[in-house]
Amino acid sequence: STASREPDVSSSRDSKSACVARMKVKAISRDRRDFTRARASEIVPVQRSMAPELHPFEKAREYKRAVNAVKLDRHFAKPFVGALS
């Protein structure tokens, strides 16, 4: 009579393990040689995607770089060098 009151744990455990057995796992496998250096002086290659849809702030970055370049050009300009001679 006590066995009939206890929940059947074995059947729920089997259904969970069956669910885990059917799960597919996709793993990324990469060749370690592509990411290790032969010598300490070598630069490690960086994997980047240059697709424009992945870089929405590219125009803003380019604009900021151009503005900074103009500021530096003006800062380091020597407008009075010709006037002194």
Across 20-24, 32-36, 46-50, 52-56, least confident range: 20-24
The pairs formed by 9-13 with CB atoms below 8 angstroms and a separation of 24 or more are none
Contact 44, 35 (CB under 8 A): yes
Per DSSP, the three-state class of 41 is: coil
Separation between Cα atoms, residue 59 and residue 1, nearest integer Å = 76
Spatial distance between the Cα atoms of 28 and 85, rounded to a whole number of angstroms: 67
Q: 44, 37 in Cβ contact below 8 A?
A: yes
Q: Which of 6-10, 15-19, 64-68 has the highest mean pLDDT?
A: 64-68
Q: What is the pLDDT of residue 45?
A: 73
